[in-house]
Amino acid sequence: MEAKKFMSPKVLIEEAKILSRKGEKERAIGVLQKGIAQYFPQMEIWKTKPPPGSLDARILCSKALLLLAKLCEDEKLLNMEDYIAKYKEASDVYKESEKNYFTLGSYHDRLWSSTERRENQLLVYMFAVN
């Protein structure tokens, strides 16, 4: 926490991870939201055409966005479309990251699995009632 004095995006991400591990996920989400706005105001530009020399900052921004999406999903704070948008935002900022696309794909898989499970449960219920 002493490292916060140095105002670094790396510290922001680590602070959020520490808070999350301590069970303070909502506080970690707040830290990330505030930090992303503070450290990465050029995020929207990076989504369309990132300028040369912005790679390190884009990687950090993408990590922060990905962590934010995961924490929001863990806390069930948003709806399905918002989760997809958050995961996609991380991918848009740093398009070269396979991890971002893998995480987005994993979320889609979890959605399909839960939908199939619900449909199977509904079919079992329908047959049990009849």
Could you state, in order of their start, the residue ranges of all structural domains in the chain? 2-129
> Under CATH, what is the fold of the domain 2-129?
1.25.40
- The least confident of 31-35, 49-53, 64-68 is 49-53
Residues across the chain: 130
Q: Are 104 and 88 in contact (CB under 8 A)?
A: yes
Token output for 122 = 């509904």
Convert the pLDDT of each residue in 70-118 to its tens digit: 998 888 887 878 888 888 999 999 999 899 888 888 888 887 777 655 5
Quote the pLDDT of residue 86: 87
Quote the pLDDT of residue 83: 81
pLDDT at 122 over 50: no
Quote the pLDDT of residue 56: 92
Mean residue pLDDT of the chain comes to 83
Give the torsion through C-alpha atoms of 50, 54, 56, 62, to 10 deg.
-30
pLDDT at 128 over 60: no
The pTM assigned to this predicted structure is 0.78
Q: Collapsing DSSP states into helix, strand and coil, what is residue 15?
A: helix
Which one is predicted more confidently, 77 or 31?
31
Residue 49 confidence class, pLDDT cut points 50, 70, 90: confident
